[in-house]
Structure 1
Amino acid sequence: MSLLEVRDLHVTYGSGPHAVPAVRGVDLTVAAGQKCGIAGESGCGKSTIALALLRLLPPSARLRGEILLQGEDVLTMRWGRLRAVRWAGASIVFQGAMHSLNAVRRIGEQIAEPALVHRRATPAAARRLAQDLLEQVGLPGSRAAAYPHELSGGQRQRVMIAMALACAPSLIVADEPTTALDVMIQAQILGLIGRLVTDRDIGLLMISHDLAVLADVCDRLSVMYAGRVVEEGPARAVYEGARHPYGQALSAAFPRVGDASSRRAPRGLPGDPPDPSALPAGCAFHPRCALALDLCGHQEQVLTGDDPHRAACLRAGDLQTVPLGRTP
């Protein structure tokens, strides 16, 4: 049994004629000890999936499908069971640690709180746990007495990771965990997350717009566009040999260290992602795609086949012969 299994997940904001489809039929699987990534531009549905996993979406969201966490469907859990699953079964590391931490409480208190509430730890045991977790994420235990504003951005992100580990969850969801950090601190945080996942044999679902970051950390990768997964497979295979034009565009958007050609001729993608409330007919990517056929404007493509590296594209085999961009 997989640690996390998402089956045909649909998330819509609002209802009636003004409903906005944010996630459209997504399937994901994460096993214990596995690191999986979701990549895509802003607005593709990545963070909506992260919040849906623990039912943290606003009341306006309508969910359909299944989210099985260790065999239990999160979408049908009673409130008491859901409260117990949060932190202890799965926890989330949000982007922007300064906005997620309480500015007027010491960080040790904030790390200890999940253990006090969910593990029924004594105050003394919770304080010791907070200090131990800080040391596990590379900070002195004495920093438990600090306030968030007394820490650097990288240190605050480490505090968020320590907090996520406080109840020994089986799954960690990391939503853009290195946003706004410099590249050296980003590398440290990503290495830390990877080591903790391996050492504790837990699952990781990491969300980012940066395909290169996910390829370095994750085992498997899903690329999302307009609420759908358009490509999935082994992380390195997706990054280095994308089979969907959008996956290739994401990969090409970041120059590769040591690759002079990519540094001198960086490639982007013209146009903007579609408005979720007014998606184009057929494949949602076709207005921006250099390989689009007439059929692409009428027929939406889905992931098919048993190949571990799959793409929802009619022209997956033609990517190396046609330039990426064209003006919509």
Structure 2
Amino acid sequence: MSLLEIRDLHVTYRSGGADLPAVRGVDLDVRAGETVGIAGESGCGKSTMAGAVLRLLPTGTKVTGAVRLAGEDVLTMSWGRLRAVRWSAASIVFQGAMHGLNPVRRIGQQIAEPILLHRPGTPAKKAAAHAGDLLEQVGVPAWRAGSYPHELSGGQRQRAMIAMALACEPQLVIADEPTTALDVMVQAQVLALLRDLVRDRGVGMLLISHDLSVLADMCDRVAVMYAGRIVEEGPGERLFTDAAHPYAKALAAAFPVIGDMASRRAPRGLPGDPPDPRELPSGCAFHPRCSVAVPECERIDVRLRPAGPERATACVHIGAPSELEVAQ
């Protein structure tokens, strides 16, 4: 059984009297000891899906489907049960540590807080000592527990966020753009830390990024999202080097290939912008930007279909039509 099972997840925001479908029928699994990546441009639904896993979305957001964590549906949990699950069974490393950390509380206090909440009876001194140990484990000196967030570098703040996510030894860690705004060297250090976390602790990880090259290096499997749907899923490295869906190919082509002169190429941009969720195009949502679109793309909404060993894609050019595809 998968550690995390997402089935037919739909998330719809309400804005200005209109419905904004941010996630449209996503299925995804994460197993223990596995890193699954989610790639896509800003606005494709990556962070919304992550927020739905732990019910962190704004009040009034409509969420349907199933999100099962260790077999238990998060979407139907009572608030008391949900409170117990957050941090202890699943935790999240938010995008941008300065927004995720309390600026007027010391780092050590913030790391110790979930320990005190989820393990009643733990002495405050023991929780504080554990917070220092966690900082050491993520490469930050324990004495930094007495620092405020603004006194740390960007990389140290991000490491402190990871330490906080590990405080209650969760089974699942969601990392939402964990290297945003970090320089290249610090980014590499944080990614190496996350890789060691999965290897040494056996946790499942959902790693969200717009950088497909990072996900190809870090993840066992990668799912590419566009306009709220997964359009391709497969092994990380192969998806980066041999994508099937035109959008996944465009994401891969946006990053330079470094090597000898024969294999080196300049990155290529993707023209146009993602569609407005309130005015999604008919058929395949990507067809207005697709260089290989055919008339069928404007009227057939293609769902994921097999595209080789352990791979699936949602493109009219791949495989045969199925009854799950909806004519527009």
Instruction: Report the TM-score, using the length of structure 2 for normalisation.
Output: 0.94
Q: Give the Cα separation in 2 of the matches to 1:262 and 1:221.
A: 24
Matched, 1:168 2:161: no
Show the counterpart of 1:236: 237
SS across alignment from 2:305: coil
1:256 shift after superposition: 1.9
- Name the aligned partner's letter for residue 31 of structure 1: R
For the structure 1 residues 271 and 58, does the alpha-carbon distance in structure 2 shift closer, same or farther, using more than 3 Å as the test? same
For the structure 1 residues 292 and 68, does the alpha-carbon distance in structure 2 shift closer, same or farther, using more than 3 Å as the test? same
For the structure 1 residues 13 and 140, does the alpha-carbon distance in structure 2 shift closer, same or farther, using more than 3 Å as the test? same
Show the counterpart of 1:37: 37
More moved, 260-269 vs 180-189: 260-269
1:15 shift after superposition: 8.3
- Name the aligned partner's letter for residue 200 of structure 1: R
Matched, 1:62 2:23: no
Deviations 1:94-141 (A, max 9, x none): 011011111111100000000011112210110111011001001111
Show the counterpart of 1:253: 254
Instruction: Specify which of 311, 315, 318 is matched with residue 317 of structure 2.
Output: 315
1:314 shift after superposition: 1.6
Deviations 1:128-161 (A, max 9, x none): 1101100100111111111111110000000000
Aligned-residue RMSD, C-alpha: 1.5
Show the counterpart of 1:324: none
1:17 shift after superposition: 7.0
Show the counterpart of 1:271: 272
Residues 96-111 of structure 1 mapped to structure 2, 5 A cutoff:
96-111=96-111
SS across alignment from 2:87: helix
- Name the aligned partner's letter for residue 31 of structure 2: A
Q: Give the Cα separation in 2 of the matches to 1:261 and 1:246.
A: 25
Residues 174-213 of structure 1 mapped to structure 2, 5 A cutoff:
174-213=175-214
Q: Give the Cα separation in 1 of the matches to 2:276 and 2:260.
A: 35
Show the counterpart of 2:77: 77
Give the percent of matched residue pairs that are identical in Structure 1 and Structure 2: 66
Aligned residues: 317
Q: Give the Cα separation in 1 of the matches to 2:16 and 2:180.
A: 35
Show the counterpart of 1:326: none
Show the counterpart of 1:14: 14
Contact 1:131 1:142 in 2 (8 A): yes
Deviations 1:52-87 (A, max 9, x none): 000010112101100000000000000100000000
Q: Give the Cα separation in 1 of the matches to 2:266 and 2:93.
A: 35
Deviations 1:178-213 (A, max 9, x none): 001011100000000110111111100000000001
Show the counterpart of 2:297: 296
Contact 2:10 2:24 in 1 (8 A): yes
Deviations 1:234-276 (A, max 9, x none): 0011111000000000001011222647765321110000001
1:287 shift after superposition: 0.4
- Name the aligned partner's letter for residue 35 of structure 2: K
For the structure 1 residues 43 and 259, does the alpha-carbon distance in structure 2 shift closer, same or farther, using more than 3 Å as the test? farther
Q: Give the Cα separation in 2 of the matches to 1:227 and 1:111.
A: 33
Show the counterpart of 1:124: 125
Contact 2:36 2:219 in 1 (8 A): yes
Q: Give the Cα separation in 2 of the matches to 1:272 and 1:16.
A: 22
1:307 shift after superposition: 3.7
Q: Give the Cα separation in 2 of the matches to 1:109 and 1:298.
A: 55
For the structure 1 residues 39 and 260, does the alpha-carbon distance in structure 2 shift closer, same or farther, using more than 3 Å as the test? farther
Deviations 1:22-45 (A, max 9, x none): 000000000000000000000000
Q: Give the Cα separation in 1 of the matches to 2:242 and 2:29.
A: 22
Structure 1 unmatched ranges of 5 or more: 318-328
Structure 2 unmatched ranges of 5 or more: 320-328
Q: Give the Cα separation in 2 of the matches to 1:252 and 1:288.
A: 15
Q: Give the Cα separation in 2 of the matches to 1:117 and 1:259.
A: 54
Residues 122-161 of structure 1 mapped to structure 2, 5 A cutoff:
122-161=123-162
Show the counterpart of 1:323: none
